[in-house]
Copies of this chain bind each other. A is one copy, B any other.
């Protein structure tokens, strides 16, 4: 016993109109078609649903129950189709973004806010982690795209430069170097250096910068999170160098920041997508919002600029 949608549609229309002819007009099909469809349905469920003499149509008890049920099913179908449609149009769904903690905390909030006023039915998921984890999220499909640094670009990802994020010297306010207008990497190399963990993309860049000025890259201490580095600097244990975007994550403290030169080091944050993939419409919309921000030259924290 399986009733087709066609049968249920026909039956519901007839039962609601209590008339084959009227229902046929409303549906834009022939009366005979409805007559057959209803007869088929009755045969399939094995019960008479409509009591018809040549002049009137009325529902039996089973018919009333069947109407209720048919409308439930049809409504579920209609709602489902509409929901799918909305999803395909990018009006609902979820966009999952994998990013570094600094991007998630500093750059994205305003983007998400703008996006959600346009598309309130779309949920945004932030998956934050370090570079490797972030890229894996994209490769595995957990995330729709990533905003992250990219050291060795994996083959199956496509990149679009997004912002440049300049390294600055992080000092306690009473540190001698704080008196300077700008600081060189070679100057930093003479101080106890407080580095972030080895699997951070920031670490790779600081190591490289010290390499360029022929300095040893052995840190005085190493911390997993930027907030911890902030605590160490505040305690006077040394100095650090961090991209401008992560500075808000240091927390509060007696910090001063000075431009870092010789060389000037930027980390580039890219949008990373799986190559040769058509994106869900919601993802496209999110990226368009991001692009709008760039095109409008929206304010960024000092030291951060659109790429």
Contact = CB atoms under 8 A, between A and B. Distances in A.
Interface of A: 1-5, 45-48, 60-62, 65-66, 69-70, 72-73, 76-77, 80-81, 83-85, 87-88, 93, 144, 278, 280, 283
A66 B84 contact: yes
Contacts of A4: 4-5
A194 B186 CA distance: 118
Given A47-B88, A61-B283, A62-B87, 18 more contacts: A1-B81, A2-B5, A2-B81, A3-B81, A4-B5, A45-B85, A46-B88, A48-B278, A60-B278, A61-B93, A61-B280, A65-B84, A66-B84, A70-B80, A72-B80, A73-B76, A73-B80, A76-B77
B45 A84 contact: yes
Given A48-B278, A88-B46, A278-B48, A83 B62 contact: no
Nearest to A5: B5
Nearest to A71: B80
B76 A72 contact: yes
A283 B65 CA distance: 14
25 contacts: A2-B5, A3-B77, A3-B81, A4-B4, A4-B5, A45-B85, A46-B88, A48-B278, A60-B278, A60-B280, A61-B144, A61-B283, A62-B84, A62-B87, A62-B280, A65-B93, A69-B80, A69-B81, A69-B84, A70-B80, A72-B76, A73-B73, A76-B76, A76-B77, A77-B77
Contacts of A84: 45, 62, 65-66, 69
A218 B61 CA distance: 46
Contact of A69 (B3, B65, B83, B280): B83
